Chain A
Amino acid sequence: MADDQESLDDWARICSLLARYVTVIDNARFDELPTLFAPDGALRSLITGRTTYRGDLSDYLRAVVMSRTRPAWRTVHHHLAMPAIEIGGDGTATSVCYFTAFNADAPDHWGSYRDTLITVGGSWLFRERVVEMIGSNPGGWVGSGAAALR
């Protein structure tokens, strides 16, 4: 088991990773998204049942952004709640974090991220990020079916 200071360091760095993911996807930083994942890392969507591996994440994000076809949807922003993080002593951790994605008009959709994390070269990265949607605005980007969350 990690000591208290190491746990604090890890907790802060994992929080930074979670927040950076949102900054990256909301600002369409396509090439940066894969760098947040381990070499064998993947994004798994329970919305569609599909899994996207690290090598395909840039294209995935491009498709998602391109599907924001209405002006109100161009500003989709993912607000993260405080995560529940469990740090193991073996360079692994898990995290659960709720999110609410706002567009310019209203909350668009909301759900949770369930993460398995791993340290690679001293940095925490996603080994698997599972996205689950809890609800959506029927007229919104996701609720209308316009979002390319493949």
Chain B
Amino acid sequence: MIFGRDPNRTATAEWYGIHRLLYRYIACVDAADAAGTADLFVPHGSLVSHVMGTTCFGRQAIHDYIGSLRNSWRAIRIHLALPDVSILDEQSAVSSAYFTVYGAGGADHWGLYTDRFLNAEGGWLFERREISLKGAAPDSQRMAHR
């Protein structure tokens, strides 16, 4: 089924809520907002980056990771492609979305966000975000800041 298990109006509101979360993550990371990024996860949420070889459990670890990353790597911008969201029920959803990281020299690397969401604390939050690398330019800067 294209639109989760219950294609009704309520699902549409949830769909928009998840899209807002996805775009909010990009805005926070590109703005080097570590605290804002961490708050997009549930308290026990996890961020697994196969791009940088890092796994973070919990908001504090995510805060520290994003802070350290962005302090050394500010000149990039993440472009998010149209995500494929499935609302599973009122409390849970999953999504996959491609991204491209652009630097001054153009497309640096690209990959896939695979996400699991929970409807908690009054809105949708990441329970788990997994970042997979799908390709990179020959002169990619991503490995310079591991």
A pairs with B: yes
Residues of A within 8 A of B (CB): 5, 8-9, 12-13, 15-20, 22-23, 36, 72, 75, 77-83, 97, 100, 102-107, 122-124
Minimal beta-carbon separation of A72 from chain B (angstroms): 8
- With a cutoff of 8 Å between Cβ atoms, the chain B residues found around residue A81 in the complex are 81-82
Contact B2 A102 (CB under 8 A): no
Contact B82 A18 (CB under 8 A): yes
Q: How many A-B residue pairs have CB under 8 A?
A: 80
The residue in B3, B100, B107 that gathers the most chain A C-beta atoms within 10 A of its C-beta is: B3
The residue in A9, A16, A123 that gathers the most chain B C-beta atoms within 10 A of its C-beta is: A16
- With a cutoff of 8 Å between Cβ atoms, the chain A residues found around residue B112 in the complex are 77
Contact A16 B3 (CB under 8 A): yes
- With a cutoff of 8 Å between Cβ atoms, the chain A residues found around residue B136 in the complex are 104
Contact B135 A102 (CB under 8 A): yes
Contact A12 B16 (CB under 8 A): yes
Contact B110 A17 (CB under 8 A): no
Is residue B62 contacting chain A, with contact meaning CB distance below 8 A? no
Are A106 and B7 also in contact (CB < 8 A) when A79-B100, A81-B81 are?
A: no
Contact B135 A13 (CB under 8 A): no
Is residue B85 contacting chain A, with contact meaning CB distance below 8 A? yes
Which of B119-146 touch A at CB < 8 Å? 134-138
